[in-house]
């Protein structure tokens, strides 16, 4: 087990966003978290990343508690998050965005090795290293956001709605790259995705979140066949 979340409670003022969430991420897996808008999916990722502080409950990563660690410390421990909407730095070049991602690391040789790995994974970025990130296409910006987080050398990658704003063709390309990152780099991935079909197709296991609570968990193939999931999230029934 790489990460365990135990009885996690998070609120926005008087509004309870997560109500006793317990889940696990295993080493080397792609795990998806599906649910309707407002179910608490992004809140969970932000809590793991240290952006939100839980009211109670715990988060353990690689055998140590990270429940109240600062976001920068969590990145150094091996968790990186690609936020919803990508949030690249539009006025910086592609190269500069990638360098920002690697600022938490020490050692020039390690940074250079990661830089070359990112460019090998996303060859299109190599062609645009001097280009301002804000002029990239939506798909290229998502590649840059992924590459920027890979520069931190994570063990666990948190992906928040990677298909947002992308065409079906680009969505498939991004998910194929996510699969490559998982299989070839051995990086575990916790995937939050509104496109439940894609999330379940590309993950081994899944959790279903409703109004801040886990209501179902299991193998993605089994969850995809669940009548309740089919009716609620897959547009059939």
Q: What is the mean pLDDT of residues 71-85?
A: 94
Q: How does pLDDT run across 137-152, given as a tens digit for each residue?
A: 999 999 999 999 999 9
* Cβ pair 52, 10 in contact under 8 A: yes
88, pLDDT greater than 80: yes
The torsion region of residue 85 among left (phi > 0), alpha (psi -120 to 50) and beta comes to left
> Model confidence over 190-211: pLDDT tens digits?
999 988 999 999 999 999 999 9
Dist CA 74 CA 50 (whole Å): 7
**Count of other CB atoms within 10 angstroms of residue 134:** 11
Q: What is the pLDDT of residues 108-126, one digit of tens each?
A: 888 999 999 999 999 999 9
pLDDT at residue 236 in the model:
45
Give the CA count within 13 Å in the CB-facing half-sphere of 123: 1
Mean per-residue pLDDT, 71-78? 95
Residue 229, pLDDT > 70, answer: yes
Read off the pLDDT of residues 14-72 as tens digits, 9 standing for 90 and up.
899 999 999 999 999 999 999 998 999 999 999 999 999 999 999 999 999 999 899 99
pLDDT at 194: 86
* Residue 109 token pair: 């040789």
Domain range 3-86+153-233, its CATH number among 3.90.1010.10, 3.40.50.300, 3.40.50.1980, 3.30.70.1140: 3.40.50.300
Q: What is the residue extent of each domain of the chain? A: 3-86+153-233
pTM here is 0.93
């Amino acid at each position: 087990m790489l990460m365990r979340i135990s009885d996690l409670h998070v609120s926005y003022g008087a509004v309870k966003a997560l109500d006793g969430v317990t889940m696990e991420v295993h080493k080397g897996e792609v795990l998806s978290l599906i649910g309707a808008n407002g179910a608490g999916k992004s809140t969970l990722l932000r809590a793991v990343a240290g952006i939100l502080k839980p009211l109670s409950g715990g988060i353990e990563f690689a055998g140590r508690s990270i429940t109240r660690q600062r976001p920068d410390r969590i990145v150094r421990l091996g968790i990186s998050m690609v936020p919803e909407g990508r949030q690249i730095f539009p006025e910086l070049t592609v190269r500069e965005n990638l360098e920002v991602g690697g600022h938490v690391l020490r050692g020039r040789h390690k940074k250079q090795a990661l830089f070359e790995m990112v460019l090998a994974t996303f060859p299109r970025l190599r062609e645009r290293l001097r280009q301002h990130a804000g002029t990239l296409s939506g798909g290229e910006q998502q590649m840059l956001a992924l590459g920027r987080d890979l520069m931190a050398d994570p063990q666990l990658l948190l992906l928040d709605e990677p298909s947002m704003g992308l065409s079906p063709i680009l969505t498939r390309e991004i998910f194929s790259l996510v699969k490559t990152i998982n299989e070839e780099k051995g990086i575990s991935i916790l995937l939050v995705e509104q496109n439940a079909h894609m999330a379940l197709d590309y993950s081994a296991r899944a959790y279903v979140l409703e109004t801040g609570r886990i209501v179902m968990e299991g193998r993605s193939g089994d969850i995809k066949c669940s009548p309740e999931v089919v009716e609620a999230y897959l547009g059939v029934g």
